[in-house]
Amino acid sequence: MRIDSVQPPAVPHFFLYGEAPRDADDRFLHLEALDDRSRPNRWTIRPHVHSGLHQLLLIAEGAGEMRAEEARFGFAAPCLLAVPAGTAHGFRFTDGTVGTVVTLSSRYLRDLCGREPELAALFADPAALALPEPGAVEEAVAELARELAWAAPGRRGAIEAHLMLVLVAGLRRLAASRAPAAPPGPQALLAARFRELVEAHHRRERPLSAYADDLGVSEARLRTACRAVTGASPGRIIRERRLLEAKRSLLYSDLGIAEIAYGLGFTDPAYFSRFFAKGTGECPRAFRDRRGADRGETR
């Protein structure tokens, strides 16, 4: 029997961890000690999503494991953990781990990238970045916390200066292991806007023409931009996002296969199973049985 009610996301969506979702201000920036939320939760942060917030965690002491979508990242202090907005992620920290969580809105990051385009690479993918010399980053985070806690002349400029130091430190650690990326051009910006629309509409069937109309471009121009920037067609980008949501539902929820199918806008569970098998090489039930549903907890 088809279920027509709208399903909640398989992974909880929070503003900050445990808080109801809401829109972040254009220049939203928040700092807090890692153990503010980790210690009361016995050093385990269950998988969740921040739709419009990027996070950078400075781990000063301790170790643990970060889960981001299907990947797992072991880490040990000192290091930085980058978590892009919209990523399903969770943590298991060793008891007593010390660190700071820096959270900034996607809109604030876009504003900063307008002046320093390379910063976008820091939150392109989840990452665990070792810090051979943590002192400068720790000091920048401490100064950032001090500026956020008081009002003084030049406060806004000082906050942004210390934030930029932290972000650049992460970017340089990332660049040490990767080839440098070119600044985004018009095609990259169009592809990024397309991904934002896919994020908003991936739970229902939607023709490519509707996306092109929203973006004010032709379908041909959208295809060209997506292939040039990502190497994938717009249709593949849409399919991969729907597959990602299907995987989340299989891994983190108790929903049946048919419920997941209807929740993603499929009218036929059998068609959904074929769609999933074509994209992953195995049927939904086999994927769930092999991976094991985590029931919302990192292991």
| Residue 46 CB coordination number (10 Å) | 20
Q: Alpha carbon of 80 to those of 86, 211, 222, 289: distances in Å?
A: 19, 36, 35, 33
At residue 190, does pLDDT exceed 50? yes
Q: Report how far residue 29's alpha carbon sits from residue 104's, in angstroms, rounded to the nearest whole number.
A: 4
At residue 46, does pLDDT exceed 70? yes
Whether the bond between 78 and the residue before it is cis, its omega within 30 degrees of 0, is yes
Summarize pLDDT for 107-119 with one digit per residue, the tens: 999 999 998 999 9
pLDDT at residue 292 in the model: 59
Summarize pLDDT for 149-172 with one digit per residue, the tens: 888 888 889 999 999 999 999 999
Residues 31 and 76: beta-carbon distance below 8 Å: no
Task: State the average pLDDT over residues 281-294.
Answer: 79
At residue 229, does pLDDT exceed 90? no
* pLDDT bracket for residue 24 (50, 70, 90): confident
Task: State the average pLDDT over residues 27-38.
Answer: 91
* pLDDT bracket for residue 135 (50, 70, 90): confident
Task: State the average pLDDT over residues 261-280.
Answer: 92
At residue 82, does pLDDT exceed 90? yes
pLDDT at residue 5 in the model: 46
At residue 20, does pLDDT exceed 80? no
pLDDT at residue 297 in the model: 41
The one-letter amino acid at 10 = A
Give the global pTM.
Answer: 0.63
Q: Alpha carbon of 244 to those of 18, 70, 98, 281, 298: distances in Å?
A: 23, 9, 32, 14, 18
Q: Report how far residue 221's alpha carbon sits from residue 218's, in angstroms, rounded to the nearest whole number.
A: 5
Residue reference for tokens 């494991």: 65
Strands (E) in 84-228, as ranges, are: 89-93, 98-105, 127-130
* pLDDT bracket for residue 179 (50, 70, 90): low
12 vs 120, residue with greater confidence:
120
At residue 293, does pLDDT exceed 70? no
Q: 246: which 2 tokens? A: 């299907």
